Each structure stands twice: as structure tokens, then as C-alpha cells.
Amino acid sequence: MGKLPLGVILALVSFNFLFVSDSSNHTMFGLLFLAALVILFLSEIQSKLKL
């Protein structure tokens, strides 16, 4: 699976767990998916911020 489709899926799942669900366990899963998204796109983020 390509990086962009995987990133979109991770972003949607993270949004669902963080803002739609009402359980603390789901919030933790949302944060984990969000962290995975940041790790997946870390090189692009660093190049945009010139780090």
C-alpha cells in the first residue's frame, strides 16, 4: 500500500477514535494512530520545516 493512502486511512481512523468515540481506551488508540501517522510522514514534515 502506498504512503498517501495509508496516511489517509491512519488520519481517518485517528479522527474517529479521538473525536467520535467517547471512551478513554478509544482516545488512546486515536493517539497511537496519530503517532503512527506522524512517524510515517516524518521525513516530509522535516523537509517542510527545514529541520
- Please state, for a pLDDT cut of 70, what percent of the chain lies above it: 96
Q: Based on the structure, what is the number of domains in the chain?
A: 1
CA–CA gap between residue 16 and residue 32 (Å, rounded): 12
Residue 41 phi, psi dihedral angles, 5° rounding: -105, 25
Domain that holds residue 22: 3-49
Q: Is the pTM value of this prediction over 0.85?
A: no
Query: What would the pLDDT profile of 23-47 be if each residue is shown by its tens digit?
Result: 777 778 888 888 988 898 888 888 8
Tell me the CB-side half-sphere exposure of residue 2, using CA atoms within 13 A: 3
- Give how far Cα 27 sits from Cα of 2, 3, 14, 20, 37, Å: 26, 24, 9, 9, 15
pLDDT at 20: 82
